[in-house]
Structure 1
């Protein structure tokens, strides 16, 4: 009796592909699925073109940004060998101004170029230190002198006008 059930075709039709021909049984076959996927990929590729154009413009240096002039500190408030933190160009962009000599000031964005950890001024050793991975930067150039960072810190352009130190812009990174 079990053998009779196993040898019978479960449907009245004589083949197992009977459901392919039924209406609305297969509205999306392999070919239709592939056409949909290629179309979706094309739409996605075309939608990214404007962003690629903006990135190319920025990398080519055609999109020069202007930054506002902002007061950092008074000259008398900052002694030689000291540093002060400030926010520039935006209120969430941390930066560091160092007075290296009587008339020598350097300012850098103080996010390490390795993994964006904060960079601190060590006045005793006269170097900028990233404590996260023991990275060191030269205060005169912003170039890395030790540790994992390979790119210099972005420099902020500084101007001294009378008794006040101002930030006036950010230098572009050049490879």
Structure 2
């Protein structure tokens, strides 16, 4: 009587053969929805879309690399001369609203300004009046206040310097110096 009945597996599907064969559960109609060729076509298409989507940014970067002198910066008043003593520093934003910088008065007529994001990992850089240097506390990076070049720690590139002018009893930011290796 058992031979007359069809054999069924645990899920209730009919087992076509008596032997212990595991190929009966393959559904060949949708076995290969994504084969190697389809996968490679999809990857090539995704790479093409990514490459094309980066072209506008590359064009903007190329424009500034080819003609760096055409870039203009706003002129911004930073401080009145009588508001700062030698050795004082103030923080300001320049050229954009998220670009923080540091202005240091070294002597009566000498000022230096740098972006205060460390060139190692963008930690904030502070003025140390006692040590007469710019300090990055994250990894003990030190920068020379006169040149912006690193003197200790992991930073290898100088801080971006902000161009200054002194007019009408005030200090103005006029631009950002291009980094020269």
Determine if the TM-score, normalized by the shorter chain, exceeds 0.5: yes
Q: TM-score range by the shorter chain?
A: 0.7 to 0.9
| SS of aligned partner of 1:44 | helix
State the alpha-carbon separation in 1 of the partners of residues 92 and 22 from structure 2: 82
Is 1:88 the equivalent of 2:94? yes
Give the equivalent residue in structure 2 for 1:161. Answer: 167
Query: Is residue 76 from structure 1 mapped to residue 82 from structure 2 by the alignment?
Result: yes
Give the C-alpha shift of residue 172 in structure 1.
1.2
1:60-84 deviation line (CA, Å, top 9, x unaligned): 3447421111111110111111111
Moved more, 52-61 or 99-108: 52-61
Q: Deviations over 1:109-159 (max 9, x none)?
A: 111111111111111211111111111111111111111111101111111
Q: Equivalent of 2:115, from 109, 118, 132?
A: 109
How many Å separate the matches in 1 of 2:78 and 2:95? 11
Q: Which runs of 5+ in 1 are unaligned?
A: 12-16
Structure 1 residue 9: Cα displacement: 10
- Gap runs ≥5 in structure 2: 8-16
Q: CA RMSD in A?
A: 2.9
User: Offset of 1:163 from its aligned partner?
Assistant: 1.1
CA contact (8 A) 1:57 1:63 kept: no
TM-score, normalised relative to structure 2: 0.78
Distance 1:119 1:9 in 2: 67
Change (3 A) 1:35 1:5: same
Alignment partners' CA distance in 1, 2:159 and 2:76:
20
Alpha-carbon contact 2:118-2:136 (below 8 Å) kept: yes
Query: Does residue 5 of the first structure (1) align with residue 5 of the second (2)?
Result: no
Residue matched to 2:49 = 43
Residues 1:170 and 2:173 are matched in the alignment: no
Distance in 1 (CA, whole Å) between partners of 2:173 and 2:23 is 83
TM-score normalised by length of structure 1: 0.80
